[in-house]
Amino acid sequence: MWTRRALVLALPVFAIVAACKGKREESPAAVGSKAEPTPFTLVLNWVPEPEFGGFYAAKASEAYAKEGLAVSIKPGGPGVPSLQMVAAGQAEAGITGADELLLAREQGADVVPVFAVYQHNPQAIMTKAERGAKSLAEVFAAGTVALEPGLPYAQFLKRKYGFEKVKVVPYDGGIARLSIEKDFAQQCYLTSEPLAAKRQGVATSVFPISDEGYDPYGAVVVVSRETWTKKRPLVEAFVRATRAGWQSYLKDPKAANEAMHALNKTMDLETFAGAAEAQHALVETHETEGDKLGTMTKARWEALRTTLTELGLVTKPTSFEGWPVD
């Protein structure tokens, strides 16, 4: 089973920018040019998995090519600073979480979100069903919980429920301890660990963090302020093609799953299919059906900023002026 990534915030943004010598030169090709497609790099923050399915579908269906873009998708992994690479001008776009974006802006990264894959965050806590827990309040009343305590969602839960009655241990990936310990709980993604547990015959109870009042957008596409300001037609072309790719992936993920599986052999095609199905409701909601896929609202960003401020993680004011939000 694969391990989900933590926030990549160890290095100050300015240090990463200084280490990256120079910015990518702007392509002379015009957006939409059939003669010479414009190069465009998207850096993922994890390995190819269904949460990125729409990007691979857009590439496979030539949606990017139809917009005059030659898109290169660079897989991420543990420690890959996708957001900081964008801020440093080493890629046109990258994937991050909404909370990570606001924390990076706190460090000086002037980046702008342009598309949000997950309208509801996939982070959750899961336990064995035989434990009988009916709520997170019960989960945090006893036993052991494996999570990354430094992450914003964990700090939110600590403030809400307190960790005094449980033993908090580092999350090390997989479901080995969960499968054998009745009173063990762990962080998970709705699209990954619960599926692995089911395949191993372990019945689980899963509690989404979004139901607790912490629901930042997930798999958010970000670009630098400079790119958004000076190359907006390029970015808008990418967003249009990406939306078309996600529309295609939600209807039939098979081709994109096969393309991602060729790059990520740690996940079999059956799991790819299961994850794609599990995430559908997180991607396409009543508010974001069809041509609204990936859209964001100012109210959601303001609510997240307020929560992070209350947690003491954000201290500087954040302006959402000029962001493509409703």
Residues 80-97: tens digit of each pLDDT:
999 999 999 999 999 999
Q: Residue 96's pLDDT is what?
A: 97
pLDDT exceeds cutoff 60 at 9: no
Q: Residue 78's pLDDT is what?
A: 85
Same domain, 132 and 182: yes
Same domain, 202 and 231: no
Kindly report, residue by residue over 208-257, the tens digit of the pLDDT. 999 999 999 999 999 999 999 999 999 999 999 999 999 999 999 999 99
Same domain, 113 and 234: yes
Threshold 0.85, pTM exceeds: yes
| Helix residue ranges per DSSP H, 109-231 | 136-139, 152-161, 176-180, 193-199, 225-230
Question: Average pLDDT, stretch 31-43?
Answer: 80
Same domain, 240 and 220: yes
Whether residue 148 lies inside any domain: the answer is yes
Range(s) of the domain holding residue 225: 13-120+216-310
Burial (CB count <10 Å: 0-12, 13-18, 19+), residue 166: middle
pLDDT exceeds cutoff 90 at 33: no
CA 259 – CA 268 distance, rounded (Å): 12
In degrees and rounded to multiples of 5, residue 123 shows phi and psi of: -70, 140
Same domain, 176 and 297: no
Q: Residue 35's pLDDT is what?
A: 66
Of the residues 178, 212, 246, the one at which a domain ends: 212
Helix (H) or strand (E) run with residue 84 in it: helix 82-87
CA 280 – CA 203 distance, rounded (Å): 22
138: CATH: 3.40.190.10
Of the residues 186, 212, 238, the one at which a domain ends: 212
Whether residue 25 lies inside any domain: the answer is yes
Same domain, 108 and 148: no
Whether residue 304 lies inside any domain: the answer is yes
Give me the number of domains the chain comprises.
2
Whether residue 319 lies inside any domain: the answer is no
Helix-helix angle 53-60:254-263, to 10 degrees: 110
How far, in whole angstroms, is CA 71 from its chain's centroid?
A: 19
Same domain, 203 and 128: yes
Of the residues 212, 229, 262, the one at which a domain ends: 212
Average pLDDT, the chain: 91
Same domain, 252 and 281: yes
Whether residue 297 lies inside any domain: the answer is yes
Whether residue 192 lies inside any domain: the answer is yes
Same domain, 65 and 80: yes
Q: Residue 42's pLDDT is what?
A: 98
Same domain, 220 and 158: no
Same domain, 90 and 223: yes
pLDDT exceeds cutoff 70 at 13: no
Same domain, 161 and 23: no
Lowest mean pLDDT among 24-28, 124-128, 233-237, 299-303: 24-28
Q: Residue 27's pLDDT is what?
A: 40
- Which residue, among 81, 42, 46, has the nearest Cα to 59 in the 3D structure? 42
CA distances 276 to 53, 224, 268, 271, Å, are 8, 29, 12, 8
67: its two tokens: 């917009």
Question: Average pLDDT, stretch 179-197?
Answer: 96
User: For residues 34 and 224, is the Cβ–Cβ distance under 8 A?
Assistant: no
